[in-house]
Amino acid sequence: VMTRPTGAPLGDDPVPWLRPEGYEKVVAVNIDGVAYGLMAAIPHLVASGGGDVVITASIAGLMAQPPDPFYSMSKHAVIGLARSAGPALADRNIRVNAVCPGGVDTNIVPSDLKTSGHRFAPPSYIADAVVNAIIGGGNGEVWVAYAEDSAPWKYEHPSPRH
């Protein structure tokens, strides 16, 4: 979910939405929902010998998203979860990866943004990215599915400098 109210014009100032109720909603759905879902799945995956979890994040988790800071924060969090939980669960034969869609043609997209000239991929394109993340064989990876006219690709996070 986003903090931006449904139907709010894209150019609106996001600061009025930076309130506890908006924060709590975004965190409860976008972070807690993913974390609790993963925690619930782990015993079942272990019991079945392992498996794959693909977390849906967003390109807003890879860069700043000033129009909705809480949404961007939540997607940064789930990317961190995938990157950390994947290696932590590897010895249990569980792989955790993330897919970061660009714009997807769903009801979460404000109507003015849909008519602004931005491109929105169909959900089937994101499904293909999920398949790529699974068959890619990696763990703790982040896949970007930005636009339907380019294949999803594995994102390479910069390494910290010492």
Handedness of CA 47, 95, 106, 63 (dihedral sign): positive
Report the alpha-carbon distance of residue 142 to residue 85 in Å, rounded.
12
Dihedral of the CA atoms 103, 121, 105, 23 (nearest 10)? -30
* Three-class DSSP category at 55: strand
Report the alpha-carbon distance of residue 38 to residue 55 in Å, rounded.
9
Task: Say if residues 138 and 154 touch (Cβ distance below 8 Å).
Answer: yes
Q: Which of 23, 71, 125, 155 is catalytic?
A: 71
The answer to whether residue 146 is catalytic is no
- Which of the residues are catalytic? 71
